[in-house]
Amino acid sequence: MNLNRIKAIAWKELIQIKRDPLSLALAFLMPVILLFIFGYAITVDVDRLKTVVYDRDMSSLSREIVRGLRESGYFTIVGYVDGPAAIDRAIDGSGARVAISIPEDFSKNARMGRQAGIQVIVDGSDSNTATIALGYLNAAMEMAAKRAGLGTISPPIDVRLRVWYNPELRSRNFIVPGLIAIIMTIIAALLTSLTIAREWERGTMEQLISTPLKPPELIIGKLIPYFVIGVIDTVMSIIIVVALFGVPLKGSVVLLLFISSLFLFGGLSLGILISILTKSQLAASQAAVISSYLPALLMSGFMFSIPNMPVPLQAITYLIPARYFVSSLKGIFLKANTADMLLTEMGLLALFGLIVFTVAVKKFKKRVA
């Protein structure tokens, strides 16, 4: 391969990017915008759930229960209702997500050591919120009972919980690092999927074909500017994730950038392959979204737990490079994983990049169809 020819193609592509404001905006503004949108919008934390109370007991204990729910920060008491029909209206009309019904003999039974029940009604149309809300309710009820002086019987086993890697259980800490993988997938595939197709549409590919330029030289020259842009975007994303969202980066920045480079090489090569196969910018952009962004979003473990997926889908996830990048990002950010712990992920990302790059070189023909 001739390095001078590669440099010439890289320089030509760089000039073309500089002359295209849309490409520049796509390259540098989109990662920031997506980080803000996804980072603030996606969360599984639940707080300030609208709650109504039907208190028939009207005792100091029932008031303590309600106060405990309010002070927990997870529930907002939006009002008291006077019957089951009012509870139905509140839940059905989305005026409340949770309803607490305290019976007349609640405090009497509780202080006499008998079973004291409280009915809790939760809007289950959002199953994730409902499940989390029930857990919060149990914890808040126990705390309120202790503060009311009911006390608890010491269990025979002293259970002491310790949460590693994310002790605050902040969903942002494990969601936001994975966002880097999703954003880099979008940027890498979209940017390079237009390069070869753009040459065909503008009629400049015939000029390139007539030169001594070899397919590997053309593809490498096309990749270099976008690889540099991808690295800059990765550094920007890491800074935003750490400085703005407060996600701890416990591992090596060098290792993080190295794995990101492997992932970028594979993503950019996939974009080039799509551009070669389609020869149309519109078709290339659509194919890039379908083949890279959607699999990365749905099947990488970013949004949905892979072990909870059906077995056939679990098998397909092994073909998604974003799966290995997402797990590497979370490991480096939260667990301070070292290179020897991520050898499998790095090897598979490198293998994917080499395979796609080789296929792209094979598919590019120096002739006019």
Chain segment 272-316, per-residue pLDDT in tens: 888 888 877 778 888 888 888 888 888 888 877 888 888 898 999
**DSSP conformation class of 337:** -
* pLDDT value at 39 more than 70: yes
For the ranges 70-74, 137-141, 229-233, the maximum mean pLDDT occurs at: 229-233
* pLDDT value at 151 more than 70: no
Rg of the chain on CA atoms, in Å: 28
Are the CB atoms for 287 and 197 separated by under 8 Å?
no
- Return d(Cα 219, Cα 204) in angstroms, integer: 15
- Return d(Cα 246, Cα 119) in angstroms, integer: 39
Q: Which amino acid is at 94?
A: S
Kindly state the percentage of the chain with pLDDT values over 90.
Answer: 22
Q: Which amino acid is at 64?
A: E
- Provide the pLDDT for residue 149: 62
The structure tokens 């969601």 sit at 175
For 74-78, 172-176, 345-349, which range has the lowest pLDDT when averaged over its residues?
A: 172-176
- Provide the pLDDT for residue 158: 42
- Provide the pLDDT for residue 45: 67
Q: Which two tokens stand for residue 221?
A: 């020259």
Residue 224, Cβ neighbours under 10 Å: how many? 18
Strand 98-102 versus strand 119-122 pairing type: antiparallel
- Return d(Cα 149, Cα 348) in angstroms, integer: 58
pLDDT tens sequence across 90-99: 888 878 888 9
> Distances in Å between the alpha carbon of 360 and those of 51, 251, 340?
57, 34, 31
* pLDDT value at 159 more than 50: no
**DSSP conformation class of 99:** E
Question: Taking residues 208-236, what's their average pLDDT?
Answer: 86
CATH of segment(s) 49-147: 3.40.1710.10
> Distances in Å between the alpha carbon of 115 and those of 108, 120, 265?
10, 16, 63
Q: How confident is the prediction for the chain on average, in pLDDT? A: 82
pLDDT tens sequence across 322-348: 999 999 998 999 888 999 999 999 999
Q: Residue 156 — very low, low, confident or very high, per pLDDT cuts 50/70/90?
A: very low
Residue spans per domain, the chain: 11-42+170-363, 49-147
* pLDDT value at 171 more than 80: no
